[in-house]
Chains A and B, each alone.
Chain A
Amino acid sequence: AQKITQTQPGMFVQEKEAVTLDCTYDTSDPSYGLFWYKQPSSGEMIFLIYQGSYDQQNATEGRYSLNFQKARKSANLVISASQLGDSAMYFCAMREGQQGAQKLVFGQGTRLTINP
């Protein structure tokens, strides 16, 4: 069963607009972590933002914020004031497994294209 679902294979957004990338997850663990990574065309995986399941506030990092809705099991990434350099693949991931043997499980990714 898919544990991380990203329902938007591709998105096209006008420069300077805000964009929301969707991510839903499935877990029965009370303690988990959610991550977003960016993969530009050059191929590297860049960590963007983290949200812990017990965090009371939504995580923010510069122009990135995470809209965490625990009851809905969603962890959407919001990019404000999008820039051309934001064009990339974006992956949502969840940390799962027992303490000491944890791994990241990734979604299928969303390809974001920012139009000038």
Chain B
Amino acid sequence: DTAVSQTPKYLVTQMGNDKSIKCEQNLGHDTMYWYKQDSKKFLKIMFSYNNKELIINETVPNRFSPKSPDKAHLNLHINSLELGDSAVYFCASSLLQGAADTQYFGPGTRLTVL
């Protein structure tokens, strides 16, 4: 029944490692997003994809690479992890871009880089 799911929920890793976060939505939505929430709870968009096509890349370091194998999945791969990457990462989806479209969020992945 989960609408937007993310795995893993928690991720603890060493600096310099490469890690991935997976996101899946079963809402039949066309657009998916990645947001980052920092330690002060501030949420900021990173990427959005519409039907597997990159729409928004919000000046994120190129160590972050999103991949959308199909419109129900949007994964986030992070290379050479840095301490400043520690945050909660949220995946979200919406039916379309624009109009009254509400974005529904996944449960978040708390990434801790040691």
Interface of A with B (CB < 8 Å)?
33, 35, 37, 39, 43-47, 50, 52, 89, 91, 93, 95, 97, 99-106, 108-109
Contact = CB atoms under 8 A, between A and B. Distances in A.
Contacts of B114: none
B48 A47 contact: no
A100 B100 contact: no
A102 B98 contact: yes
Closest 10 pairs between A and B when the two form their complex, measured CB to CB: A45-B105, A106-B43, A103-B45, A99-B98, A44-B107, A100-B97, A101-B55, A43-B108, A109-B41, A102-B97
Question: What does DSSP make chain A's interface, helix, strand, loop or mixed?
Answer: strand
A33 B100 contact: yes
Contacts of B110: 43
Interface of B: 33, 35, 40-45, 48, 50, 55-56, 58, 88, 90, 92, 97-98, 100-108, 110
Contacts of B35: 104
Contacts of B100: 33, 50, 52
A50 B98 contact: no
Contacts of A46: 105
Given A101-B56, A104-B45, A108-B42, A47 B104 contact: yes
Nearest to A93: B43
A82 B104 CA distance: 24
B50 A103 contact: no
B34 to A, nearest CB: 11
A33 B102 CA distance: 9
B41 A103 contact: no
Contact of A35 (B40, B90, B102): B102
5 contacts: A35-B102, A47-B105, A93-B43, A95-B101, A103-B48
A57 to B, nearest CB: 14
A53 to B, nearest CB: 10
Contact of B97 (A35, A37, A101): A101
Nearest to B109: A43
B102 A50 contact: yes
A43 B88 CA distance: 9
